[in-house]
Amino acid sequence: MEKTAKIYVAGHGGLVGSAIKRRLEGLGYKNLVYKSSKELDLRDSLAVKHFFELEKPEYVFLAAAKVGGILANSKYPGQFIYDNIMIESNVIHSSHLYGVKKLLFLGSSCIYPKFAPQPIKEEYLLSGELEPTNMPYAVAKIAGIQLCQAYNREYNTNFISVMPTNLYGPNDNFDLETSHVMPALIRKFHEAKVNKLPYVEVWGTGTPRREFLYIDDLADACIFLMDKYNQNEIINIGVGEDISIRELALLIKEIVEYKGDIIWNTSKPDGTPRKLLDISRLTSLGWKAKVSLREGILLTYNWFIKNYYKND
């Protein structure tokens, strides 16, 4: 991407989009365009077409999405499938209509089959049943991938799809009803520490294993792939190693300096047993993550205590 190119970051206010915007600015890209969801409803096809006609971006990072953890996915399945399909369809179609040079679509590792062999290779997509707790979201993301691939074949576009592993970092969602496991645990342990609670309750058994990627590493990988990758096949983004939820809880407890106990609510669902991505396709291109899990959690916790409660 030329430093003067007009780049649209869809979803710039969220965890992923804000990190991509921050990284682009750090690299000297100045011609960035973005709109908040209040300014531009990406579910509205006419509004999206008007935006693309007016702005004519050359490159698009499609990071806008409705996201959440097990509880949110279970409570709002209709919203998760509708909002995500509409956002993807409108942005991808308008990118085609208005001659975008290249688009990067952010998928998710939850699109892979629940019992996929580990580590998960890109070719395992659609080879088995999905995890029921987030199926509507996963189906929507798979539809986005198919849209990119179909448009590439029919219209000769250059739309690439990346599959990041579990993400965390500054600007994450710390709402206990809609958040993912990492920010939820950070908030739970912090509030238990502040309120001197005797224990923290964590969902499930603690046995599932997850891979976690710091958000600034993801942003770096996305810009790297926008420059280097032009294939129709999806590509995984991760760190190549995982940790059990029990180990993660103990690590966050230590970083937060909470002295109480952990109680595991085994009546709550665990979700997918293990989710570790095969990142050999990415590493063969010359990219690897830089931020360790401990360092990333500490950075995220420091951001949380400085920013999360300031508007209360």
**Percent of the residues in the chain that have a pLDDT greater than 90, as a whole number:** 85
93 is in an annotated binding site: no
Return the closest-CA partner of residue 9 out of 49, 45, 39, 36. 36
For 254-283, write each residue's pLDDT tens digit: 999 999 999 999 999 887 788 899 999 999
For 127-155, write each residue's pLDDT tens digit: 999 988 889 999 999 999 999 999 999 99
Distance CA 235, CA 163 (A): 6
Distance CA 85, CA 73 (A): 15
The answer to whether the beta carbons of residues 129 and 108 sit under 8 Å apart is no
**Percent of the residues in the chain that have a pLDDT greater than 70, as a whole number:** 99
Which pLDDT score is estimated for 311?
Answer: 56
The answer to whether the beta carbons of residues 105 and 145 sit under 8 Å apart is yes
The answer to whether the beta carbons of residues 37 and 204 sit under 8 Å apart is no
> Is position 220 within any domain?
yes
> Is position 186 within any domain?
no
Which pLDDT score is estimated for 110?
Answer: 87
Q: What is the mean pLDDT of residues 231-239?
A: 97
3-state DSSP call for residue 203?
Answer: strand
183 is in an annotated binding site: no
Which pLDDT score is estimated for 12?
Answer: 95
> Is position 282 within any domain?
yes
For 68-96, write each residue's pLDDT tens digit: 777 777 888 999 999 999 999 999 999 99
Angstrom distances, CA of residue 161 to CA of 28, 66, 226, 307: 24, 17, 10, 32
**Residues spanned by the domain of 35:** 7-171+212-240+275-290
> Is position 201 within any domain?
no
Mean pLDDT of the chain: 94
Which pLDDT score is estimated for 269?
Answer: 83
């990219």: which residue's tokens?
287
Phi and psi at residue 2, to the nearest 5°: -70, 145
265 is in an annotated binding site: no
Catalytic residue, chosen from 59, 137, 168, 214, is 137
> Is position 190 within any domain?
no
Return the closest-CA partner of residue 235 out of 202, 277, 273. 277
> Is position 256 within any domain?
no
Q: Is the pLDDT of residue 312 over 60?
A: no
For 190-210, write each residue's pLDDT tens digit: 999 999 999 999 999 999 999
Angstrom distances, CA of residue 26 to CA of 5, 21, 146, 216, 222: 15, 9, 32, 11, 14
Which pLDDT score is estimated for 69?
Answer: 74
Q: Is the pLDDT of residue 27 over 70?
A: yes
Q: What is the mean pLDDT of residues 40-63?
A: 98
13 is in an annotated binding site: yes
15 is in an annotated binding site: yes
- CATH code of the domain in which 281 resides: 3.40.50.720
- How many structural domains is the chain composed of? 1
250 is in an annotated binding site: no
205 is in an annotated binding site: no
For 1-13, write each residue's pLDDT tens digit: 999 999 999 999 9
Q: What is the mean pLDDT of residues 277-304?
A: 97
Return the closest-CA partner of residue 145 out of 114, 112, 119, 167. 112
> Is position 259 within any domain?
no
98 given a catalytic annotation? no
